[in-house]
Amino acid sequence: MLEITNLSHTYGSGPSAHNALGGINLKVAQGELVCIVGPSGCGKSTLLRSIAGLLRPSGGQVTLNGAQVEQTPDNLAVVFQDYSRSLFPWMSVVDNVSLPLRRKGMDKRQRGQAAMEALEEVGLDGAAAKYPWQLSGGMQQRVSIARALAYRPALLLMDEPFGSVDAQTREDLEDLTLRVRNLHNMTIVLITHDIDESVYVGDRVVVLSKAPAGIVGDLRVDLPGPRDQITTREHPDFVHLRAEVGRLVRGMRSPSPSTS
Amino acid sequence: MLEITNLSHTYGSGPSAHNALGGINLKVAQGELVCIVGPSGCGKSTLLRSIAGLLRPSGGQVTLNGAQVEQTPDNLAVVFQDYSRSLFPWMSVVDNVSLPLRRKGMDKRQRGQAAMEALEEVGLDGAAAKYPWQLSGGMQQRVSIARALAYRPALLLMDEPFGSVDAQTREDLEDLTLRVRNLHNMTIVLITHDIDESVYVGDRVVVLSKAPAGIVGDLRVDLPGPRDQITTREHPDFVHLRAEVGRLVRGMRSPSPSTS
Amino acid sequence: MTRHNPLDNRLLCGALGVAGLFCVMEVAGRTGLIDPLVFPLASTVLGRATALVTDGEFLSDVASTLGAWALGLLLTVALAVPAGFLLGSLPRVESALRPILEFLRPIPSIALIPLALAVFSDRFDMKVTLIVYAATWPVLINTMYGLKDVDPLAKETLRSFGFGKSAVLWRVSLPSTAPFIATGVRLASAIALIVAISAELLGGGAQGIGSYVLESGGSADAVEYIIAAAIWAGIIGVITNGLFVLAERRIFRWHTARTEVV
Amino acid sequence: GGSDKSTDTTAANADGLEKTQIKIGALPIPDSAALYIAKDKGYFKDEGLTVTIEPVVGGAQAQQSLIGGSLDATQTNYVSAFLAVAAGNKMKIISDLYQAAPNSFNLMVPKDSSIKTPADLKGKKIAVNSKKNIGTLAVTSVLKTHGLTEADVQFLEFPFPEMGAQLANKVVDAAWMTEPALTAVQKNLGAQKLADTMVDSTADFPIAGVVVMESFATENPKTVAAFQRAIAKAQQISATDRKAVEQILPTYTKIDAATAAVITLGSFPTSLDETRLQRVADLMVEQGYLKSPIQAKTLLPGNLG
Amino acid sequence: MNGLLRGVVRLWPVPVVLLLWELITRGIEMLSFPPPSQIATSMYTMWLTGPAERLWLTDAALTNIPVSIGRLLAGWVLAGVVGIVLGVALGRSPLLFRFIDPLVQFARAIPPPMLLTFFMALLAIGPRMQISFIAFGIVWPILINASEGARQVDRQHLDTARVFGLSSGERLFRIILPSAMPKIFAGLRVSLSLALILMVLSELVGSTDGIGFQLLDAQRSYDFSGVWGTIVVLGILGYVFNSAFLAAERRVLSWHRSAKQTT
Ligand SMILES: Nc1ncnc2c1ncn2[C@@H]1O[C@H](COP(=O)(O)OP(=O)(O)OP(=O)(O)O)[C@@H](O)[C@H]1O
Ligand SMILES: Nc1ncnc2c1ncn2[C@@H]1O[C@H](COP(=O)(O)OP(=O)(O)OP(=O)(O)O)[C@@H](O)[C@H]1O
Ligand SMILES: [Mg+2]
Ligand SMILES: [Mg+2]
């Protein structure tokens, strides 16, 4: 479904240029959930923005269902890393969630209902009438997740979507994502820093190296489904995979914070 | 050093009022590192803002070294949850870090040097001349950590400071925080969602309940120092404490994301 | 990777736009849509305007107007920006002074010219005062609006490091308000030019673009002179605005980089 | 403000003048020809005066400049001067400059206008350069002789150069005009003369002179006298030598030599005559411009109060 | 009631300034600067000595003030519509901007008194010409602010809109306009005061009614308390308009104020 060929990107030009992506090749099949992990600043968000057509890469190309991505493709949703700035402060929470649903040809009532359902699923039905700036960080993040899930996109891109919530909510949101994916056969690319999470939710885990980002590992996660927070995490394959991913990420790290 | 008595806060008024803090009592000793955990949206950031004197609480009071906090107290640093908005887009990274040092009576050269050292410690010496909006999310977060640490405050407040970085960097930053705390005898209040982290870095872990937030647990962490990412985490007390905290957080969760 | 799309050239596009308007006016005149007797042909006016370039008298008039403009604008900024900060950061003072300011603001500087004539023994001073009076408002208002737009978290960051009010003002409020102020100054710059010329036009005087128009007032084709001078006023406006924009782009790269259309 | 602030109040020089630097306001119209002739021919210099002539917009504005002190003297029309004095301003007329001649101020109508005599103006719109001024005064007296009053018409203010356009656009039905616009509308638009407004009670009507603040006149009697002598010489030339006027016009107005040669000029009186001025004041009283009579002689220097 | 009282109390600087002004003008005794008491008297006779059944308004008040306000508001609304539409278009289309911007900068630097010549030539004098003249003269702050506001939408907001495939209409009405609103309002507010100025100007030449006409009339008659009276009326009108505008703004931009509030 999604095919990335030789994708590279350089920010700026001249001596201050920064080569963020150095020729990435990646195929994602329909209905697959691919997790991307890699050190901070390696180029994960850049990759995601290229897939979303928000950034014109310096080289290579992204094709989606055979067509090259030039503009932002249809039927796509993104949960941005900087979620608080991606919510519109002049709209209430429920309006923020229902806004994209206009494209789905729903009428006002349907939109409101779908938005309320999505908010309920992330545990925010009580905050529907509030404005984003009246919410805590984690609640804002959940609004942007609800917005993306309510949209039921064919391709969902998530950039560290569960970073600001507590452990229990995080697990619930992981399960919610898996459930929605299965129900609607979505393709998902999810960036995360949590190696356990990447193995738990992913069908595949792709490990990126430090700048310029390249793929240093692409592990298939063959855990028995349906996944479960307790049994899956205790599964020997899980423990093995997570150690493997950990090793890959660690090995690829570049100038580490000084440990003097 | 820090004493919080009966602190309560309500946002707004009338029917849409939201009672975020419901009478919190807490004492933090000089040099202590207290971790605060609690469900998303319970009021952790609100508590932190009250301590920083950025929010006038509806009731109760905060005293610091015997004096009531009315204004922002001296010799304080904060790492905000919404770190990207707390960096100044019109200044380079190194200027962002060195700005607060003006208050320390350092001259320009000293400030630059201290800022560069701090950036090095968080692994960002290469990005000193860039602007915040040219950095990735995790890098921005590290800039704001570097800024706080370079300042060497007597009291350091951190609101989910390591949420956007990869696992390895996170561990390095945890150790960095502990090291700087020991060197300069700082008092630190750290909000986190990672229960392991709270036990690993904290001298105490305080668990808050869902709105209105109250303290449901206050656990002393008596792990042998100096802490170490591998041995400490394997220590039986660590495993025990983390399970304890996990139970407390889970127990106090309110309307959970639907798990149908 | 360098593309040479002519449409990327600002100057070329601008020139095309101007030429387009010129042609429309000329055609309107030639087809009688606008009676050339009532309003001269674009080409006639252009000829007249071009001839002014070699008119030493006109050039010294332009210099004199620009002198008042520059001084007036400088004083405006020196006055309105601090005032905007004062009013924006001291709500009590603002609410006390608001009735007076809001009363003064809509009073046309042009209606004040006869009164100003009776007060000032020097026309230059009078011009500059009127310029400051009229140009202050956009700078003041933009400063106050910009101040309201400062990200509170940025302010809190500095406050949390123990910086005082003035430091927050100087290091956060000023830089993040600066783009707003710049827009205000850009608006004010045109107003200053307008007021300078209007004051010459309605108050008399020996020097200035307005006086030049005044001197030609007795001529049979005075309208041509008025329009030719108006064209020069417009051109000066385009040039000064261009300079301001250029400066803004340099100074506020941090602002445009995050927001501008790519 | 006040005249105390005016420029360079030098102590008595060789001629005993109180003040040698004078700034005078003038309109760029034929009325002020003598000022420029006096400057051009060096008559001011002969009297020890250095005179700067600054363009002004109109009588009212120029008088405000006198009060403020940016001008020492100014050309003004007499109607404005009397109105200003009646309002309480203390001013003196020190020289006469211009006087109406036949066909120097005409009411014009468009080429194909249905208005044939001033009596047809009932309910019509008339353009004048300034309301409550010499134009309305003169037009009203023409209307009176045709059985109409001021209330029968509507006066609209337009600058002289724009009146042609307003006639052509039928915004106004008639326009009260003077040179050079008068010639221009005849030539360009074929506009026609409806009436000469300077006949009967306004025949040879005094139009414009030079005024100063009363305080200026009392403080600088010798300077005023020197100024008057210089103007008198220049008026003598203007009155007798049309060529001299035609030559000076292009130097301070944008009237070219060819136009200057054909336009109708008023006359240039060589003395300041109180009885002539009194006609203006009386007509103004008659038409209600002034509430109470004014003695013209109180406006001449030497008659204080 | 409480709010009203507070509103009145807030006006305390007004009497203070009036008193000072009275003392100063009495002190300097200049004809062109009559004391406020005299101005008040002349305002009263000018506008408030009519018959009781018309609320004591005189003919002058009833003919001049409403027509002026009508022209002013018509011009302002016209300028608002044109300014916002064109400004947002310029702000969002770099190409259009490159073509039109010099003309915009050119046009807004032309002094209105000179512009009047042009407008009188284009449109015969009358309300049509006056309204378009006012609109033309005041459109610039709205246009420039709107284009600036539309250009400087937070890129994250636009990316979000693009990602969710919002149509261009939704992008415009739900993202760009709301983000540009604060700036647009700043422009509208500046223009409202400018409109008053342009209204006066448009009534100075060739008009037969309006506040500007009355101002001119007073000037021509050397009636300085009349001149000041009209100036005061302009000030009062400006104050009233501005207060009404601010009230509207507070409603429309409530999200903006709260979102930007320091806690
Ligand atoms: N400005 C505000 N206006 C109204 N309500 C607010 C405001 N700020 C916060 N709240 C409410 O107060 C509660 C606590 O918010 P707070 O930011 O302290 O939560 P938190 O514990 O930091 O959560 P998180 O872990 O998600 O950041 C939330 O329910 C939120 O909706
Ligand atoms: N607008 C920009 N201009 C210049 N450099 C940029 C810009 N945006 C990103 N970069 C650089 O590109 C690199 C990759 O950034 P990116 O945001 O893709 O990282 P990331 O993998 O998402 O990191 P994180 O996990 O910290 O979010 C970083 O080194 C950053 O400094
Ligand atoms: Mg990222
Ligand atoms: Mg929080």
For the segment B222-233, what is each residue's pLDDT rounded down to a tens digit?
A: 888 788 888 888
CA distance B134 to D137: 75
Would residue C191 count as lying in a domain?
Answer: yes
What is the span of the domain harbouring residue C239? 40-261
Are B86 and C159 within 8 A, CB to CB? no
- Quickly count: other Cβ atoms within 10 Å of residue C8's Cβ: 12
Please give the distance, rounded to the nearest whole angstrom, from the Cα atom of residue A254 to the centre of ligand 2: 15
Q: Is the pLDDT of residue B139 over 60?
A: yes
Q: What's the angle, vertex CA A50, arms to CA A48 and CA A173, rounded to 5?
A: 20
Are A246 and B167 within 8 A, CB to CB? yes
What residues form DSSP beta bridges with D21? Answer: D50
Which atom, in ligand 2's list, is nearest to the CA of B135? 31
Q: Which residues contact E169 (CB under 8 A, 6 or more apart)?
A: none
pLDDT at B254: 42
Q: ipTM score here? A: 0.78
Residues of chain A positioned with their CB less than 8 A from the CB of B227: none
**Each residue's pLDDT tens digit, C187-239:** 888 889 888 888 888 777 777 888 887 777 666 667 777 888 888 888 888 88
Write the CATH number of the domain with boundaries E38-48+57-262.
Answer: 1.10.3720.10
Token readout for B235 is 């220590």
Q: Which residues contact A198 (CB under 8 A, 6 or more apart)?
A: A35, A36, A37, A190, A192, A205, A245
Q: Closest Cα of chain D to E109: distance in Å? A: 22
A134 lines ligand 1 (CB under 6 A): yes
CA distance E210 to E196: 12
DSSP A213: B
Please give the distance, rounded to the nearest whole angstrom, from the Cα atom of residue B76 to the centre of ligand 4: 19
Q: Is the pLDDT of residue D12 over 60?
A: no
Using a threshold of 3 CB pairs under 8 A, tell whether chains D and A touch: no
Q: Closest Cα of chain C to B103: distance in Å? A: 7
Average pLDDT, chain D: 81
CA distance C47 to A14: 47
Please give the distance, rounded to the nearest whole angstrom, from the Cα atom of residue A6 to the centre of ligand 2: 19
Token readout for C133 is 């009076």
**Each residue's pLDDT tens digit, C162-188:** 777 888 888 888 888 888 888 889 888
Which ligand gives the minimal distance to the CA of A140? 1
Which other chains touch chain C, taking contact as 3+ CB pairs less than 8 Å apart? B, D, E
CA distance C26 to D170: 23
Would residue C33 count as lying in a domain?
Answer: no
Q: Which residues contact E206 (CB under 8 A, 6 or more apart)?
A: D127, D156, D157, D158, D166, D171, D172, E120, E125
Average pLDDT, chain A: 88
In the structure, what pLDDT confidence band is assigned to residue C40 with cuts at 50, 70 and 90?
confident
Are E208 and D154 within 8 A, CB to CB? yes
Residues of chain B positioned with their CB less than 8 A from the CB of A167: 193-195, 246, 249
Nearest CB to C14; choose among E101, E108, E151: E101
Helix axes E127-151, E59-92, angle to 10 degrees: 40
Ranges assigned E (strand) in A18-152? 18-28, 33-37, 59-64, 67-68, 76-79
Would residue C134 count as lying in a domain?
Answer: yes
Q: Tell me the mean pLDDT per 10 residues along chain E, length 263.
A: 66 80 81 81 78 73 83 93 93 86 84 79 77 90 89 81 78 86 87 86 80 82 82 86 87 73 47
Q: Which residues contact A58 (CB under 8 A, 6 or more apart)?
A: A8, A9, A10
Residue type, C194: I
Q: What's the angle, vertex CA A28, arms to CA A27 and CA A33, rounded to 5?
A: 150
Residue type, D213: M
pLDDT at E97: 86
A44 lines ligand 2 (CB under 6 A): yes
Q: Which of E156, E158, E163 to mutate to test the interface with A (most CBs of A within 10 A)?
A: E163
Contact (CB, 8 A) for E191 and E142: yes
pLDDT at A149: 93
Q: Which of A37, A45, A166, A195 to mutate to test the interface with B (most CBs of B within 10 A)?
A: A166
B138 lines ligand 2 (CB under 6 A): yes
Answer with the residue of higher pLDDT: C33 or D226: D226
CA atoms within 13 A on the CB side of C70: 8
CA distance A157 to C119: 70
pLDDT at C42: 79
| pLDDT (mean) for D138-160 | 85
SS (H, E, C) chain D: CCHHHCCCCCCCCCCCCCCCEEEEEECCCHHHHHHHHHHHCCHHHHCCCEEEEEECCCHHHHHHHHHHCCCCEEEEEHHHHHHHHHCCCCEEEEEEEEECCCCCEEEEECCCCCCCCHHHHCCCEEEECCCCCHHHHHHHHHHHHCCCCHHHCEEEECCHHHHHHHHHCCCCCEEEEECCHHHHHHHHHCCEEEEECCCHHHCCCEEEEEEEEHHHHHHCHHHHHHHHHHHHHHHHHHHHCHHHHHHHHHHHCCCCHHHHHHCCCCECCCCCCHHHHHHHHHHHHHCCCCCCCCCHHHHCCCCCC
- Quickly count: other Cβ atoms within 10 Å of residue D208's Cβ: 27
B187-191 vs A59-64, strand pairing mode: unpaired
Residue type, D188: N
Nearest CB to E222; choose among D84, D165, D172: D84
Q: Closest Cα of chain C to B215: distance in Å? A: 25
Ramachandran angles phi, psi of C143, nearest 5°:
-60, -45
CA distance C205 to D56: 6
CA distance B189 to D13: 87
Please give the distance, rounded to the nearest whole angstrom, from the Cα atom of residue A26 to the centre of ligand 2: 20
Q: Is the pLDDT of residue D61 over 80?
A: no
CATH number of domain containing C47: 1.10.3720.10
- Quickly count: other Cβ atoms within 10 Å of residue E184's Cβ: 28
Token readout for E109 is 């630097």
Contact (CB, 8 A) for D35 and D209: no
Q: Which H or E run contains E144? A: helix E127-151
What residues form DSSP beta bridges with B22? Answer: B8
Q: Tell me the C-alpha to C-alpha distance, in Å, between residue D118 and each of A180, D160, D197, E208.
A: 91, 20, 10, 21
Would residue C12 count as lying in a domain?
Answer: no
Q: Tell me the C-alpha to C-alpha distance, in Å, between residue C246 and each of B34, C252, E148.
A: 51, 10, 15
Name the closest residue on chain E to residue A132, using Cα atoms: E259
A18-28 vs A67-68, strand pairing mode: unpaired
Would residue C18 count as lying in a domain?
Answer: no
Contact (CB, 8 A) for C211 and C204: yes
Pick from D266, D103, D264, D108: nearest CA to D186 = D108
Pick from A210, A90, A77, A194: nearest CA to A144 = A77
Please give the distance, rounded to the nearest whole angstrom, from the Cα atom of residue E158 to the centre of ligand 1: 26
Sheet (strand B204-208) strand order: B76-79, B155-159, B187-191, B33-37, B204-208, B215-220
Which atom, in ligand 1's list, is nearest to the CA of B46? 18
Please give the distance, rounded to the nearest whole angstrom, from the Cα atom of residue B194 to the centre of ligand 4: 13
Q: What is the pLDDT along chain A (260 residues), one digit of tens a residue?
A: 899 999 999 998 888 889 999 899 999 999 999 999 999 899 999 999 999 988 889 999 999 998 888 888 888 899 999 888 888 888 899 999 998 888 788 889 999 999 999 999 999 989 999 988 889 999 999 999 999 999 999 999 999 999 889 888 899 999 999 999 999 999 999 999 999 999 999 999 999 998 788 999 899 998 887 888 888 888 888 888 988 888 888 775 443 444 33
Q: Which residues contact A13 (CB under 8 A, 6 or more apart)?
A: none
Which atom, in ligand 2's list, is nearest to the CA of B136? 17
B12 lines ligand 1 (CB under 6 A): yes
Token readout for C45 is 């006016």
CA distance B106 to B120: 19
Pick from C148, C163, A19, C256: nearest CA to B147 = C163
Domains in chain C, number = 1
| DSSP assignment string, E192-260 | HHHHHHHHHHHTTSS-SSSHHHHHHHHHHTT-HHHHHHHHHHHHHHHHHHHHHHHHHHHHHTHHHHHHT
**Each residue's pLDDT tens digit, B165-211:** 988 889 999 999 999 999 999 999 999 999 999 999 999 999 999 87
CA distance B205 to B221: 7
Residue spans per domain, chain E: 38-48+57-262
pLDDT at D14: 52
Which ligand gives the minimal distance to the CA of B12? 1
Which atom, in ligand 2's list, is nearest to the CA of A46? 18
Please give the distance, rounded to the nearest whole angstrom, from the Cα atom of residue B246 to the centre of ligand 3: 28
Q: Is the pLDDT of residue C262 over 50?
A: no
Q: Closest Cα of chain C to D54: distance in Å? A: 5
CA distance E34 to E29: 7
What residues form DSSP beta bridges with D77? Answer: D208
SS3 B12: coil
pLDDT at A189: 96
SS3 A68: strand
Contact of B76 with chain C, judged by CB distance below 8 Å, is answered with yes
Alpha-carbon dihedral angle through residues B70, B76, B82, B85, given to the nearest 10 degrees:
90
- Quickly count: other Cβ atoms within 10 Å of residue B69's Cβ: 21
A209 lines ligand 2 (CB under 6 A): no
Q: Is the pLDDT of residue D115 over 50?
A: yes
Q: Which residues contact A138 (CB under 8 A, 6 or more apart)?
A: A164, A165, A166, A169, B40, B41, B193
Contact (CB, 8 A) for A48 and A241: no
Name the closest residue on chain D to residue C220, using Cα atoms: D181
A194 lines ligand 2 (CB under 6 A): no
A208 lines ligand 2 (CB under 6 A): no
Q: Which H or E run contains C19? A: helix C10-30
Residues of chain D positioned with their CB less than 8 A from the CB of E220: 60, 83, 130-133
Contact of E247 with chain C, judged by CB distance below 8 Å, is answered with no
Contact (CB, 8 A) for A181 and A152: no
Q: Is the pLDDT of residue B256 over 60?
A: no
Helix axes E59-92, E36-47, angle to 10 degrees: 100
Q: Which residues contact C104 (CB under 8 A, 6 or more apart)?
A: E235
SS3 B78: strand
Ramachandran angles phi, psi of C172, nearest 5°:
-115, -55
Pick from B124, B133, B45: nearest CA to B84 = B133
Q: Which residues contact B178 (CB under 8 A, 6 or more apart)?
A: B33, B201, B226, B227
Name the closest residue on chain A to residue E258, using Cα atoms: A133
